[in-house]
């Protein structure tokens, strides 16, 4: 099998542990170049991670003849532009989540890659983490019976940065929204993976604490094409932390978190069973492996531009009124 040689655009925090080492450690995969606008930071990353080349210009990395595929690990406001540039160079694209600033940008990215004849994948890596595969297995093997509802509850207190600078994740011009967009996108994506596409969504977004301009509270109801119904509540200015998803069927329910590592809990008439599934050291590595394998003609990656665009569509419906 061919070794896929990767370049990274935007070697920030997400690439330090979650993804960068995964590109190096996946079978038949190598990280050969990184880019950051601050060349000193790109050079430092390359030195620390043993990457042969670094750039401070994205076009130089994209056009490097020894880069086979490009991972875009920047904030969402430049995902579309970089995706179009990589596609125009005829190279496969792997882009961070959320996929783009809005659903329209997602569709443009999908179209650009289709026109160029290159694949587009998105870093919704929970689609290959053991704990989420266990939830999918429980649903598909009938442990819950016929699925009826999904309930998401997420509370988190606001933790202001020590230096007083607002993180880009709560700056809508960069992130496309606030922490809801950054974090709830993972939840909506795995619900899509488990239960199929959401076809109807209604809700309300607001800012109740005033720490920043982005939304900090979202409540919603949603319905899947399969007939399953769901409700969700996200609040980022609460007294404590709570992260819980419950999927309920006619025979039982499964309870788990979006971001924790505690055991998955299955509750049925027979009692409670816990599944302590492992979390890999580099959480994107299993998904990266599916991309490398697909590029080598072995299987398919489950997180595509088309599937990721659906999550942006859901979030757009919930935030449209707030940002208008």
Q: What is the dihedral of CA 84, 90, 96, 100, to 10 degrees?
A: 20
Query: How much is the pLDDT for 85?
Result: 98
Q: Which helix (H) or strand (E) holds 6?
A: strand 4-9
User: What gap in Å lies between CA 110 and CA 87, rounded to an integer?
Assistant: 10
Q: What is the pLDDT of residues 284-293, one digit of tens each?
A: 999 999 999 9
Domain boundaries, the chain: 4-126+283-303, 130-279
pLDDT digits (tens, 9 = 90+) for 212-252: 999 999 999 999 999 999 999 999 999 989 999 999 999 99
Cα separation, 190 vs 301, whole angstroms: 14
pLDDT of residue 159: 87
Same fold, 4-126+283-303 and 130-279: no
pLDDT at 153: 98
Does the pLDDT value for residue 172 go beyond 90?
A: yes
Q: Please name which of 153, 12, 28, 134 lies closest in space to residue 71, comparing C-alpha atoms.
A: 12
Q: Give the confidence band of 164 by pLDDT, cuts at 50, 70, 90.
A: confident
Q: Give 73-122 pLDDT, tens digit per residue.
A: 999 999 999 999 999 999 999 999 999 999 999 999 999 999 999 999 99
Instruction: Tell me the CATH architecture of domain 130-279.
Output: 2-Layer Sandwich (3.30)
Q: At residue 160, does pLDDT exceed 90?
A: no
DSSP secondary structure string, 272-286?
Answer: EEEE-----SSTTHH
Strand order in the sheet with 120-122: 53-55, 29-35, 4-9, 69-72, 93-95, 120-122
Q: Which superfamily, per CATH, for 4-126+283-303?
A: NAD(P)-binding Rossmann-like Domain (3.40.50.720)
Per-residue pLDDT of 44-74, as tens digits, reads 999 999 999 999 999 999 999 999 999 999 9
């Amino acid at each position: 099998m061919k070794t896929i040689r990767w370049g990274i655009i935007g070697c920030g925090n997400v690439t330090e542990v979650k993804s960068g080492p995964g590109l190096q450690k996946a079978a038949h995969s190598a990280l050969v170049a990184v880019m950051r606008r601050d060349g000193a930071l790109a050079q430092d990353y390359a030195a620390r991670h043993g990457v042969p080349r670094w750039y401070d210009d994205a076009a130089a990395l994209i056009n490097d003849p020894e880069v086979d595929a490009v991972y875009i690990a920047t904030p969402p406001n430049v995902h579309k532009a970089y995706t179009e540039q990589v596609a125009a160079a005829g190279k496969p694209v792997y882009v961070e989540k959320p996929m783009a600033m809005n659903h329209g940008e997602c569709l443009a990215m999908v179209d650009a890659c289709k026109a160029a004849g290159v694949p587009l994948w998105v870093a919704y890596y929970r689609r290959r983490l053991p704990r989420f595969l266990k939830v999918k297995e429980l649903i598909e093997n009938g442990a819950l019976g016929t699925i009826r509802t999904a309930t998401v509850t997420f509370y988190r207190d606001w933790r202001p940065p020590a230096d007083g600078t607002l993180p880009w994740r709560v700056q809508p011009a960069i992130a496309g929204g606030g922490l809801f967009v950054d974090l709830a996108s993972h939840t909506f994506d795995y619900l899509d993976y488990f239960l199929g596409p959401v076809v109807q969504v209604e809700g309300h977004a607001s800012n109740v604490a005033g720490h920043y301009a982005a939304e900090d509270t979202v409540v919603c109801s949603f319905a899947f094409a399969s007939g399953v119904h769901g409700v969700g509540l996200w609040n980022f200015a609460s007294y404590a932390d709570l992260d819980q998803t419950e999927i309920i069927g006619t025979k039982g329910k499964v309870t788990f978190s979006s971001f924790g590592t505690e055991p998955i809990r299955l509750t049925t008439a027979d009692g409670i069973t816990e599944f302590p599934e492992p979390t890999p050291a580099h959480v994107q590595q299993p998904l990266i492996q599916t991309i490398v394998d697909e590029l080598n003609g072995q299987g398919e990656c489950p997180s595509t531009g088309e599937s990721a665009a659906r999550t942006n569509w859901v979030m757009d419906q919930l935030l449209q009124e707030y940002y208008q």
